[in-house]
Structure 1
Amino acid sequence: METVLREKIKVGISACMYGCEVRYNKKGWSMLEYLGRGQSEFIWHPVCPECMAGLGVPREPIRISGGNGIDVWEGKARIKGRSGEDVTERVKHGAQVCMEMLKSAGVYVYIFMEGSPSCGVYRTTLKNKRIGKPPGVFGALLLKEGFFLIPAADLQSPVRWWDWKRRLNAFAWLRSVELRSKTDIYDMWHTIKFICQELDNEEAREIGKMLAKNDWEFSPDYAEDLRNSLLMLLRRPSSLPKIKHMLWKHYIFYKKKSGMDVDEIMRPEELRNMTHIASELMIMERKAAETGLMFGSAPIQYKGR
């Protein structure tokens, strides 16, 4: 199985995070600047449910009254402006239009503005760090449709973005890889098992034990159930201790196989800032590729055509 992505991943993003001044107060932030040249590896699809609702810029801030975004879709809650105007149906329509646009373009990844009553997923207010009533109206649709969801704030952290990107690459690869036989499944698992073990060692070990028994019969339904379970696993963020531990583990493997040291790689317990850790991770990716070894923490890379 080829473990290189040749096509750019299409990524939806809240337009205000793309730099468009479309928030209710006519503000926006270009979060992609934090990615530098790395932003060219993706095709971007900025959308704004509130603009598509025809609310205009600037506009009154909106809030969910009587529940959360899921309740809005079920008719149990309403969306109101600061003056009390009911804009429920307009915002629902705007969210539906945005979702249709993304799906028609083949987008299954979304970078969302947390704290928004429309795009927020785990928080729908920016005031005093209160959670609000998550998810937001559009956030509820994103969850329902099974999007790979990335909070825009994490683009500012080199390590968090590295974690999201390597899992996204694995996610995109797993969605498209053909699983037509037991051999395909074993090859797929061999490719992504290390990143899965990092994310949830207990769940990954159970999957590995089950496959190792070799007493199961292949079927398309079984293959898709396994694929979907692993896609869910790849949506979960890792942690800094796990990332540093696996970086060191893979470095020891690299050193043993290649006989070469990499001075920049530090032991897990050594203190350094996030930028240095991100640099170590990218160096390890490059060194592994140069020697034909797999860096298990980031098994799928984008190389383009």
Structure 2
Amino acid sequence: MASAFSAPHKPKIAISACLLGAEVRFNGGHKESRLCSQALSEHFEFVPLCPEVAIGLGIPRQPIRLIGDPAQPQAVGSVDSELNVTAPLHDYGVEMAALHRDICGYIFMQKSPSCGLDRVKVYQDKGRPAELSGRGIYAQAFCAAHPDLPVEEDGRLNDPVLRENFLTRVYAYSAWQDLLKHGITRRALTEYHARYKYLLMAHHPVQYKALGKLLGTIGKNDPRDIAAQYFSELMQALKKCATRRTHTNVLQHLSGYLKQSISADDKQEIQQLIAQYLQGIVPLVVPLTLLKHHFRQHPDPYISRQVYLQPHPENLSLRNAI
């Protein structure tokens, strides 16, 4: 039987509260993301956070903005520049990072001086933005404490490739948290890596080999000594978006497991759909669905454990648009 997605629980994702419709913005409004509040809320337990309200800024309030050095900006009031909330935002980020250790991802409000991940304007003398953009003060502090955590901005999630990549990483992070709860053993680590073989090959083939070599160093040593490094490198590898070419390579590998069991006509049909996927004629879900059909007819125990076949719930339809 081909791999079907199963998660023991809904992964927790922290999210900027305004994206769920909370009226916490400086103007008393919200920035509700229907994708988050409707499509994703069925599959994830959201933890809404608003650092600006949490540190005592009112609703409504004067907007804050970043000024100074883009590498280490200050967050000040846009009307009253004497208002400086850099330290409170940073400290709240550190506090929340320590409190929320069970989350598997974070969706931030884009371009926000507190929550933006990238491309946040940093103003210079006479109100001109610096050539280099910055990162929101709170987001910087939170992410520094959780360097491997999958993070994304709401606007980028409208891109199907980035959305699929982010949620794939969220579920990989969740699976790793479950592994940690049961305890790191040599067997658990090697089985986790084996399950992620083809997903890693689709995202970063070079890093897949490097991670295999890292696991080869366990020997008689304690596997816990390399677990953190392994997972950090795995998350970096998955952050790289898979391409049509790398997906095609994996689809060809998977089809090889069926060469002894299916007819010449069936093989030809698979190859035709893989070629159409590579050319951009059909989405990834089309050749994958056919492969999964054949693996149900001709089960392979190794393939049935591969996360690649179903890295997230099928009804999220994430591979219908890539």
Deviation at 1:190, TM superposition (A): 0.5
Q: 2:279 — aligned with what?
A: 270
- Residue 41 of structure 1 aligns to a residue whose secondary structure is coil
- Residue 5 of structure 1 aligns to a residue whose secondary structure is coil
Contact 1:65 1:78 in 2 (8 A): yes
* Change in 2 beyond 3 A, CA 1:99/1:287: farther
* TM-score, normalisation: structure 2: 0.72
In 2, the alpha carbon distance for the partners of 1:282 and 1:131 equals 44
Q: Deviations over 1:182-226 (max 9, x none)?
A: 3222212111122223322222212224545x7733312133332
Contact 1:12 1:102 in 2 (8 A): no
Matched, 1:224 2:228: yes
In 2, the alpha carbon distance for the partners of 1:142 and 1:251 equals 39
Identity rate, percent: 20
Q: 2:141 — aligned with what?
A: 141
In 2, the alpha carbon distance for the partners of 1:215 and 1:33 equals 42
Deviation at 1:138, TM superposition (A): 1.0
Unaligned runs of 5+ in 1: 72-76
Q: 1:186 — aligned with what?
A: 190
Q: Deviations over 1:19-51 (max 9, x none)?
A: 233333444333243785443110011211122
Which letter does structure 1 place at the counterpart of 2:121? T
- Residue 76 of structure 2 aligns to a residue whose secondary structure is strand
Which letter does structure 2 place at the counterpart of 1:267? Q
Contact 2:20 2:31 in 1 (8 A): yes
Which letter does structure 2 place at the counterpart of 1:115? K
- Residue 64 of structure 1 aligns to a residue whose secondary structure is strand
* Change in 2 beyond 3 A, CA 1:237/1:35: farther
Which letter does structure 1 place at the counterpart of 2:120? T
Q: Which protein has the larger Cα radius of gyration, Structure 1 or Structure 2? A: 2
Unaligned runs of 5+ in 2: 315-322
- Residue 40 of structure 1 aligns to a residue whose secondary structure is coil
Contact 1:246 1:297 in 2 (8 A): no
Contact 1:67 1:133 in 2 (8 A): no
- Residue 267 of structure 1 aligns to a residue whose secondary structure is helix
In 2, the alpha carbon distance for the partners of 1:133 and 1:196 equals 31
1:24 to 13, 23, 26: 26
Contact 1:247 1:297 in 2 (8 A): no
Deviation at 1:298, TM superposition (A): 5.1
Q: 2:319 — aligned with what?
A: none
Deviation at 1:11, TM superposition (A): 0.5
Contact 1:159 1:278 in 2 (8 A): no
| Residue correspondence of structure 1 range 195-274 to structure 2 within 5 A | 195-211=199-215, 216-219=219-222, 220-234=224-238, 236-242=239-245, 244-246=247-249, 248-249=251-252, 252-253=255-256, 256=259, 259=262, 267-272=276-281
Contact 1:12 1:45 in 2 (8 A): yes
State how many pairs are aligned.
290
Q: Deviations over 1:115-171 (max 9, x none)?
A: 111111122139999875422101111221113212212332333322221222112
Q: 1:297 — aligned with what?
A: 308
Which letter does structure 1 place at the counterpart of 2:109? M
